A and B are shown apart, each in its own frame.
Chain A
Amino acid sequence: EAGVTQFPSHSVIEKGQTVTLRCDPISGHDNLYWYRRVMGKEIKFLLHFVKESKQDESGMPNNRFLAERTGGTYSTLKVQPAELEDSGVYFCASSPRQGSPSYEQYFGPGTRLTVT
């Protein structure tokens, strides 16, 4: 079974440009999460999809960030326009339909975003 995949693995853009990150969850996983780790800080939640619907977007930092999950499959996270403070590692995770309190979120390898 393929794990969570993310593309690109690394992106370097200039301030003011647009970047789109993609996440492909494990097949059949209804729940998809985006997290971010900026330098020196803890991993922080951005938002949560259940299928194609946004369940919780309380962690989205501002309206420069737009997340979509077309058809409840893969998800994209667009940053437009990018600012220096957006640099960090963006992780995607997925998990099966809601179940026991022990069920796991499987993390992808992350996309390292560098804004110069």
Chain B
Amino acid sequence: QKEVEQNSGPLSVPEGAIASLNCTYSDRGSQSFFWYRQYSGKSPELIMFIYSNGDKEDGRFTAQLNKASQYVSLLIRDSQPSDSATYLCAVRYSSASKIIFGSGTRLSIRP
């Protein structure tokens, strides 16, 4: 079993709709949870982090964490074509440790 699981996609969403990306993780000791966006040929860019159960909102992005279910999600409201990218879910066990990445979900926003 992979430590961080994501559906590889592609996930196709019409412009202006809500894109919902999901992730599960295996280690209950995980402390911090991240969503990175990666454009083709570019480096991962952090867009959201969360470490408490519940929702965290930042602009059009909302991260949701449920530690009991070991589930993290990312909602993107009012999806734009520029949101088309691969979204990487990642977890970290302590504040200075390595990041464990999922394989990513490809998101495509269609005009």
Interface residues in chain A, defined as those with a beta carbon under 8 Å from any beta carbon in chain B: 31, 33, 35, 41-45, 48, 50, 55-56, 59, 91, 93, 95, 98-105, 107-110
Contact = CB atoms under 8 A, between A and B. Distances in A.
B98 A91 contact: no
A91 B43 contact: yes
B32 A42 contact: no
Contact of B99 (A45, A102, A110): A45
A104 B94 CA distance: 12
B18 to A, nearest CB: 25
Interface in B67-81: none
A109 B32 contact: no
27 contacts: A35-B99, A42-B4, A42-B101, A42-B103, A42-B104, A43-B44, A44-B101, A45-B98, A45-B99, A45-B100, A48-B96, A48-B98, A50-B96, A55-B96, A56-B97, A56-B98, A91-B43, A91-B44, A98-B96, A101-B51, A101-B92, A101-B95, A102-B49, A102-B51, A105-B46, A107-B44, A109-B42
Interface in B43-70: 43-46, 49, 51
Contacts of B88: 42-43
Contacts of B46: 104-105
A35 B43 CA distance: 11
A101 to B, nearest CB: 5
Interface residues of B, number: 24
Contact of A102 (B32, B42, B44, B97): B32
A50 B97 CA distance: 10
Contact of B43 (A101, A104, A107): A107
Top 7 nearest A-B pairs by Cβ distance? A45-B98, A42-B103, A107-B43, A98-B96, A43-B101, A101-B32, A42-B101
Nearest to B89: A42
Most chain A CB within a 10 A radius of its CB, from B2, B43, B44 = B43
Nearest to B102: A42
A105 B92 CA distance: 11
B7 interface: no
Contacts of B31: 101
